[in-house]
Amino acid sequence: MIDSFSLQLLQFHAQFPILVSSIGLIFGLLIGSFLNVVVHRLPIMMERDWREQAQEFLDPEVERETVTEAKGEEKDEEAPDGETFNLVFPNSHCPTCKHNIKPWENIPVISYLFLGGKCSSCKTHISLRYPIVELLTGILTAVVVYKFGLTLTSLACCVLTWSLISLSLIDYDTQFLPDNITLPLLWLGLIVNSFSLVAHFDYAFWGAIIGYLSLWSVNAVYRLVRGHDGMGYGDFKLLALLGAWMGWQALPLVIILSSFAGAVIGGSLIALGRDKAKPIPFGPYLAIAGWISLIWGPEITMSYLRFAAM
């Protein structure tokens, strides 16, 4: 049964799909600005937590190693020991001159263009990655809202989309998929599908199990043959959470699309000069494939079946 309010939202979306998608775009831009903070700070927070937990086993006089982002910023300078450091504090600031970013300097995409891509204080170049992440998040959010309308399913899929963006960028920077995101997201997928918002719960339950075991089995065989792991354990959890959200039926398409994305994008990065010795994480390709399957999975499958029947 659909209550009257939900029915009104569905009717509003049917009458004004572009307006609804535009609202999703704007909201997504704001979320994208926050995701930039998550991608930058969460690895630092986790590293500090690891160091604190291992402090009793370490020589306190050992000099701390500096963890460097792909963007070239030294993370330890952002997180001096003894100071509060999380997703909220300290305030966003220029890593070069420590200028606190004003609210009008933090408007997604627009502020970057208005400032000419430079810090308003020291004129240091601001990475183009920031507005790209904001714009990407806005566009993907608009697509989700356009696809699912103003529904709880749409809200859940937006959360999944934002999380996949964060996981992809963190994995690209650090070759690490943090459990802080993957495990809660896996459980959230099962909770969401206990109401059958995206997939039937039985399909989601077995999707999580099959998703984990499929890559785990491949890696076990690889380790048996080569003597070392062929992929990170975070990839197992990522595929498990995609199965928990979309059901086991989506997993073959996710694996096929991720392999294709890896071949195309990975090959392109190498062709553009990426160091061949530097490993290319598989997590972003799984995330891309998972999102495509979430939005267009049934259409892709039906098109393939029609093509195969010709």
Give the residues of the chain that fall short of pLDDT 70. Answer: 1-3, 56, 58-82, 274-278, 310
- What is the reported pLDDT for 310? 60
Q: Are 243 and 207 in contact (CB under 8 A)?
A: yes
Interhelix angle 17-54/129-148, nearest 10 degrees: 130
pLDDT of residue 191: 97
Q: What is the pLDDT of residue 74?
A: 43
Please say whether the beta carbons of 239 and 214 come within 8 A: yes
State how far the Cα of 290 lies from the Cα of 157, in Å rounded to an integer: 11
Give 23: exposed, middle or buried? Use CB within 10 Å, 0-12, 13-18, 19+. middle
Query: 49: phi > 0 → left, psi -120 to 50 → alpha, else beta; which?
Result: alpha
* φ, ψ at 180 (rounded to 5°): -60, -25
What are 80-90's pLDDT values in tens digits? Answer: 555 778 888 88
Given a contact cutoff of 8 angstroms between Cβ atoms, the answer to whether 204 and 197 are in contact is no
The SS3 of residue 31 is helix
Residue 247 is predicted with a pLDDT of 97
| Chain CA centroid to CA 302, Å | 27
Contact 210, 243 (CB under 8 A): yes
> For residue 270, what pLDDT is reported?
76
pLDDT-above-90 percentage for the chain: 57
